[in-house]
Every structure is written in structure tokens, then in C-alpha cells.
Chains A and B, each alone.
Chain A
Amino acid sequence: MAIKMTPRNRRRLIVNNIMLSATAICAVITVSSLFLILMYLLKNGGQSVDLNFFTQLPKSPGELGGGMANAIVGSATVVALASVIGLPIGFLAGVYLAEFSPKGFGFLVRYTADLLNGVPSIVIGIFAWGLIVHNMHHFSALAGGFALSLMLIPITARGTEQFLLEVPRTMREGALALGAPMWVTIATVIVPAARKGIMTSMILGVARISGETAPLLFTALGNQYWATSLNEPTASLPVMIFTHATAPYEDWHRQAWAAGLVLLGLVFVANILARTIVSRGASLPK
């Protein structure tokens, strides 16, 4: 079919081609920023990661070598604490929102959860400091875990709610029609059906808080040595990256790159696992 190529039509076609190509370029630029990040981290971190990084304590400035074994264990401690507090609370709140909540109150809790999810992480840190560090008079892994759990609760609650609501009505009705009470239906039919989605949102939530730095700055603080109890200042990988990258020592920068690579590796593995294997078929929450 021939379209008459008047000058006006030609101009429209040119504008069309330019603008459409421009959107493709936008997509390339934004996505390539991810590859740039990966490339630099692999290049610089790859040269710096060695076995010592995982087994030794940090060296003081000026000394070469050393590792961040205490920060790896510290991060695991703080994140485990946050998960133990945050996942059950978030999950049960999500069950309430999806299955039991009356309209008005449900809306209020949902809105508040989204609000809490949007609170800047540094403000969460101030809150945990005021509630725990200030009252107990010292920085601790407990305070850090508490701060991170506050970020995990709304993510888990909203994720759980969303996936429970996606379970087909007919499954609920089937179980109820067989005479099962609501709570048995929830525990044996609805939650198992939504298992994959709930697991996915939990893994994504834990991965997200593992990389958080700001809430730990004045709760878990940091520590150059091993923490011997949950009540002591505790090192963590994100805070270590911050202190080492901003310090003026060459060898500390090397350690920061290594820590960055390890941290990003962990976060990405969790993300990819959650998004591909665990959630196969489930649509993801935002």
C-alpha cells in the first residue's frame, strides 16, 4: 500500500524513527548502568577477594592483608535477628490483612505498612537508637537487628497478603464446604497454595535488609574484633564497606572492594534464586 510521501508525512516518519530510537537508547543506558556496576565490582573486587578475607580479622591501617570474617558473621547475626523478629510478625499480619481484616481497619493497616516501608532507613536507625541504644546505654547487634526487622515487617506483611489473595476463591470455598473451619482452611489449604509467593517475598525482603547500612550506623555501630554477645557493638559488611571506602588507606579500599563484591554476590544470588526458582509462575510484588 503506497502512502503519499508529502513533505509533512516524511517529517512525521522521521520524527517517529528518531523518537522511537531515542527510547531504545534510554533503555540501553539504564540497563547498561547495571552492567557497569557489575563490571567494576568484578574487576576491583575480584583482585581483592582471597581466602584471608573470609577467615581473618581486619588489620589496622598501614598493615597489609587481613579480612572481614567478623563482619561476615556480624552481618549474618544481625540479619538472622531481624528475620526471627520480622518474618513471623510480617507473615501473621499479612494473614490477618488477607483473611480477617474488616475493610476500614484493613485499609488503615495496609496504608501504615506502606508508610513504614517508605520511611527513610536512616530515620528507622534513629528510632532504634532512641528505643534501644539510648535506654541500654550501648550499641548492640540487638539494636541493629531490631532496626532491620522494622524494614522487613511491612515488606513481608504486604507480600504475604498479596499472595494469599491470589489463591483462587474456589479453593477456599471447597475447603469450607467440606466443613473445615476458616483457620484450618487457612493453615492447610490457602497458605500452602501461596507458599511459593510468600517464600519469594520473604527471600527478597531478607536480601534487601542484608544490604542496608544506614539503620546500622548507630545501632550495631561496628567493631574491629569479634563480638562475643548480642549486646555488644557488632561489625557488619555494609558498614565495613562504608568505613573502609571513606578512609584514606589504600589497603582498606582494596578490602572495601572485596566486601562490596561479596555483599552484592550474596544479594544477587538471593534475588535470582527467589525470582527464578522459588517463584516459578508466581507474579512478584512491587
Chain B
Amino acid sequence: MATPAADLRPKYKKALIGGDELAKAFTFLFAALILVVTVLLVLELWRTSSPAKEKFGFGFLTSQLWNPVTDEYGALPFIYGTVLTSFLALLIAVPLGVGAAIYLSELALPRVSNALTFLVELLAAVPSVIFGLLAIFTLVPAMRDYVQPALQKIFSFQPLAPFFDGPTFGVGYLTAGIILAVMTFPFIISVSREALMAVPREQREAALALGATKWESTWQIVLPYAKLGILGSVFLGLARALGETMAVTMVIGNSEAIHQSIISPGYTIAAVIANNFAEASGKMFTSALVELGLVLFALTMLINGFAQLMIVLTTKKGAAKS
């Protein structure tokens, strides 16, 4: 228990109040450390990548050449792979994730909803290397033996055939996209569910009272109301998918070229760094890999910024009206 200050001698009391200033200054140091570290991180990436930036300029972003022997580096195949795998992931994860979020917020009993949300949050806690481990030994053989041949059969007509062309290795853009989809579910579901639950009850009740079915009220009233929050969850999932390293590295197939076919092996920015950085010999190779890291950093920061903005906007809107 704190002694009432009135009992204290003036000198002692002054020291205690001075303690507030001290505590503020002391904790400020640690808060400021977060700023310092983040600035240092950007500076370090910028500095270490400068040899590559000077040598290749903006051509780095558009060149398809990747040759450690001749020290020629271009980022395009990796940027392409990163964007394509993330796009495929969203294509799978958004409908499933938003659908599940609708079920959890609109239909399920609160107890069921909470239990399922708990499980979804556990899914978010699974380390990414474990997704990779499972993918190598279960998903990759299944893709190679069943899914990819089936896709080739189904999409054997023009103009879609080239997108499913080539030998079926099991690894590749699509396999990475599927794994990324499973890894982004938890983000999309839990944030979308919250955005949906922030929609005021009156909105639903008004729609139902006017004779709308449950689905019509959900689709035409509740979803549009929560659309910014849902969009925020999608961007959050996208940022996670873009930066995801281990699971993708284990199933992407490591091919340093651009392939039109989505079942073909490819590469992502994070994967090429993970596979090469530790053994990178030569200043230019390291520098090019760090510049790739810088590109990835910029990409995820951009997407994350959007996501935060949208989530903030919806929660404010929901809070103001409820």
C-alpha cells in the first residue's frame, strides 16, 4: 500500500513526485528504442543494398536475369512469384475465410462461434515451418499425382491451357498458393468476424422486418456495412502471404525464371533469400539479396498500412453507431 502523501515530509514528497518525471523519462527511452530500431532496420537495408542499387538501378526491378556466376541480378522472377503465389492464396482464402466469418458471426450460437474462433486462432499459432513440413510430405505428392493432372485435363482448352501446362512436379506456384491460403485463413476469419460483429443489430433487424431472408440481410445489408473491415482483413492476409518464408521455400520448387503455368516451379523473394543468403559469397550477391529484402519490406509495409487504415476506419464507424 502507498503511504498517503500528506504524512510525508515535504522533501520526501518532492522526491516521490520527481519519481514521476523519472519514470516517464525511463519508460520513454524504451518506447523511443522501438523507433530507433525500426529506423536502423531501414537504414541497414538501404546501406547494405547500395552496391546493387548503384550497379543495376531501377533495371533491377525489371530484369529477369539471375546469375551469381556473372554477378548479374534482376528481381522480376521473384517479384512475379511473390505476387502470383499471394494472389492464388487470396483467390482461395477470401471466399472460404469470409464465408466462415459470416457463419461465425451471423449463424453459429455464441458458444460454438467462440469455440471455433479459438481453434482458428490456434491455427494462426502453428509455426510456418510446420506447414512446410506437412506440405512436403502430404500436399506435394497429392498435387503431383492427382490435383495437377486433373487440372490439366479440366483446363485442356484454349485460352486456359497454357496456365496449366508442363510436367507435374507437385511443387510450384499453385502448391505454395494453397499453403499460403491455409496460413492466411486465421487472419481473414478473425478480423472479418470482428468487423461483422461490429455491425449494429438494428441494421439486421430492420432488414428482416422488411421481409428480407437471413441471407439477403447478410449479403445486402451486413456485408456492405462491414466491407472496409473485411477488405482490411484481406490486406492483412495479403501482407502475411507476401512476407511468408519457410512454408513457401519448402514447396515453391526453386526455379529462377518466370513461368506462365501456375503448376510450374517458381521462386519468391523470401524463398530466394532464405535459400541463398547464408552461403552468399561475394559482395554483389549479398547486396542483391538485401535489395530483394528491401523490395519485400516496401511491398509489405504498403499493404500493411492499407490494412491498418481500413480496420481503424471500420471499428470507428462501428463504435460510433452502436
Contacts and interface: CB of A to CB of B under 8 A. Distances in A.
A267 B246 contact: no
B213 interface: yes
A275 B118 contact: yes
Contact of A122 (B31, B125, B245): B245
A239 to B, nearest CB: 8
Interface in B24-43: 24, 26-35, 37-38, 40-41
Q: How large is the interface on B (under 10, 10 to 19, 20 to 34, 35 or more residues)?
A: 35 or more
Nearest to B138: A40
A116 B37 CA distance: 9
Interface string B96-109: 11111011101110
Contacts of B157: none
Contacts of B274: 122, 214, 217
Given A30-B97, A40-B138, A108-B35, A260 B130 contact: yes
A173 interface: no
A150 to B, nearest CB: 7
Among B31, B37, B190, B308, max chain A CB count under 10 A is at: B31
Contacts of A175: 2
20 contacts: A15-B213, A27-B100, A27-B104, A30-B120, A31-B100, A31-B120, A34-B123, A37-B123, A96-B27, A115-B301, A118-B300, A120-B270, A122-B296, A123-B293, A126-B45, A126-B277, A129-B277, A175-B2, A242-B246, A263-B130
A231 interface: no
Contacts of A99: 27
Contact of B119 (A31, A111, A126, A284): A31
B137 A253 contact: yes
Interface string A92-113: 1101110111000000110111
Contacts of A100: 23-24, 27-28
A194 B127 CA distance: 28
Contacts of B237: none
Contacts of B277: 125-126, 129, 217-218
Given A119-B301, A131-B44, A284-B121, 6 more contacts: A16-B213, A96-B24, A126-B290, A157-B31, A264-B130, A271-B121
A61 interface: no
Nearest to B29: A92
Given A120-B297, A122-B243, A19 B215 contact: yes
B133 interface: yes
Nearest to A161: B31
Nearest to A127: B41
Contacts of A114: 304, 308
Interface stretch (A50-58, A66-74, A76-84, A181-189): A181-189
Interface of B (DSSP majority class): helix
B6 interface: yes
Contact of B214 (A20, A27, A127, A212): A20
Interface string B119-143: 1111101111111111011100000
Contact of B300 (A89, A119, A130, A181): A119
Interface stretch (B12-20, B57-65, B67-75, B145-153): B12-20
B107 A24 contact: yes
B38 A238 contact: no
Interface residues of A, number: 98
B127 A267 contact: yes
Nearest to B185: A30
B270 A214 contact: yes
A213 B129 contact: yes
Report whether over half of chain A's contact residues are helix, strand or loop; otherwise say mixed: helix
Interface in A228-286: 238, 241-242, 245-246, 253, 256-257, 260, 263-264, 267-268, 271-272, 275, 284, 286
A241 B118 CA distance: 26
Contacts of B103: 23-24, 26-27
Contact of B27 (A30, A95, A124, A204): A95
**4 tightest Cβ-Cβ pairs between the two chains A and B:** A211-B127, A120-B243, A26-B99, A179-B5
A40 B134 contact: yes
Given A96-B30, A119-B297, A127-B45, A109 B35 contact: yes
A204 B125 CA distance: 9
Contact of A23 (B1, B102, B131): B102
Contacts of B127: 210-213, 238, 263-264, 267
Contacts of A141: none
Contacts of A242: 129, 132, 246, 249-250
Contacts of B122: 34, 268, 271-272
A153 B246 contact: no
A113 B34 contact: yes
Contacts of B155: none
Q: Which of B119, B215, B304 has the most CB of A within 10 A?
A: B215
A181 B44 contact: no
Contact of A221 (B41, B97, B213, B278): B278
B96 A179 contact: no
Contacts of B41: 116, 119, 123-124, 127, 150
A116 B34 CA distance: 8
A213 B18 CA distance: 45
